[in-house]
Structure formats: structure tokens, C-alpha cells
Structure 1
């Protein structure tokens, strides 16, 4: 199960967060843990360079995309290999929505489109879509023709 997807800016402020199956009282712990993890490791990271961590029997894959950090947390069948595929789909969809690796301002300008893309990629803690063209069609709010 995918437990969390978080987007933060370079200062560690949360831009978007999606938790699934994480109790409300544990979310603050996860937010602060992920932001600290990113602050320690993403300072000199290259764009889209993947980092992997493990904490409390869950896997974490995270990266920088422009001025935005992306964290994906999973457990069980969502190991680091599967999470790297999930984060690849998320980063390519964000780049597609923004037209380039986003600055914080561009990310916030395209916030609605990015949330739609995220909803099409991850649904109730499960990976739903990985096809970039299908995600693009679904976020236009038109019914898909290849069903």
C-alpha cells in the first residue's frame, strides 16, 4: 500500500500531501521525518536523482524536481523498486503539467492540474495509472476512448 505522497518546497513547507491508512496522530511525525530526511540529503541532489530510505518497516523514495521535493512512502508490495516507478510517473506528470521542472511558484500555479494527475496515478493507496498519455487524457476531464 502507498502510505503517503508529499510535495515540499526547498524550505520544507508542505505543498501537497496525501496520506492513506496513516492514523491522524502519526501524520505529524511522518511530515517532520520526511522533511528532515530531505533537508539532510537533497541539498546537493541533481534533478530527479532518486534516494531510498527505510523507516519502521516502510520504504521511502524521494527526489528533487526543480524547486520541489517529492516523497513517496509505501509498505508491503510497494517496495523501493515499485516506489521508484511510482515516483517516475509522478515526476513526469508534474513536468508535463508544468511544461518544465517546476519552481515553487509554477507548481502552485498548476496546483489543480497536479492534484488531478496525482488522483489519477494513486487511488486509495494503490497505483492506478502509469501511462502518461492516459493520465493526460483523464486530467482533461473527458472520458477515455480506449475503455
Structure 2
């Protein structure tokens, strides 16, 4: 299951978060852990360079894209390889929506579309769509073709 997808700015402020199957009382712990993980490791990282961690028998894959840090957390079948595929789809979609690696301002200007992207990529903690064209069509609320 995909437990969480988090977007933060460089200062660790949360821009978007999605939790699946994580009790409310544990969410603060995960937020703090991920922000600290990013603060410790993402300084000087290249755009879209993937970093991997493990915590409490779950996997974390995270990266930086422009001025935005992206974290995905998964367990069971969502190991580091599956999460790497997920984060690739998420970063590609964010770049498509924003037109380039986003600044915090650009990210927030496109907040609604980014949230729609996330909804099309992940459904109830499972990876739903990885095809960029299909995600783009679904975001526009058009029925996908079976071509």
C-alpha cells in the first residue's frame, strides 16, 4: 500500500499531503520524520535524484524537483522499486502541469491541477495510472479512450 505522498518546500513546510491507511495520530510523526529526512539529505541533491530510506518496515523514496521536495512512503508490494516508478510519474506530472521544475510559487499557482494529478495516479493507496497522456485526459474530466 502507498501510505503517503508529501510535497514540502525547502524549509519543510507542507504544501500537499495525502495519507492512505495511516491513523491520524501517526501522521504528525510521519510529517516530522520526512521533513527531517529531507533536511538532512536533500541539501545539495540534484533535481530528481532519488534517495531511499527505510523506517518501521516501510520504504521511503524522496527527491527534490525545483524548489519542492517530494516524498512517497509505501509498504508491502510498494518497495523502493515500485516507489521509484511512482515518484517518476509524480515528478513528470508536476513538470507537465507547471511547464518546468517548479518554484514554490509556481507549484502553489497550479495546486488544484497537481491535486487532480495525484488523484488520478493514486487511488485508495494503490497505484492507479502511470501513463502521462491518460492522466492528462482524466484531469480534464474527459473519458479515456481504449486506444
- The alignment's TM-score, normalised by the length of structure 1, stands at 0.99
1:138 paired to 2:138:
yes
Q: Distance in 2 between matches of 1:145 and 1:54?
A: 39
| TM-score normalised according to structure 2 size | 0.99
Residue of structure 2 in register with 1:67 after alignment: 67
Provide the C-alpha distance between the structure 2 equivalents of 1:110 and 1:73, rounded to a whole number of angstroms.
Answer: 23
* Residues 94-121 of structure 1: CA deviation (Å, up to 9, x unaligned): 0000000000000000000000000000
Q: Quote the residue 2:33 is aligned against.
A: 33
- Ranges of 4+ aligned residues in structure 1 off by more than 2 Å: none
Name stretches of at least 5 consecutive residues in structure 1 with no aligned partner: none
CA distance in 1, matches of 2:104, 2:40: 20
Please tell me the root mean square deviation across aligned C-alpha atoms, in Å: 0.7
- Equivalences for residues 44-55 of structure 1 within 5 A: 44-55=44-55
Q: How many residues align?
A: 147
Give the Cα separation in 1 of the matches to 2:70 and 2:122.
14
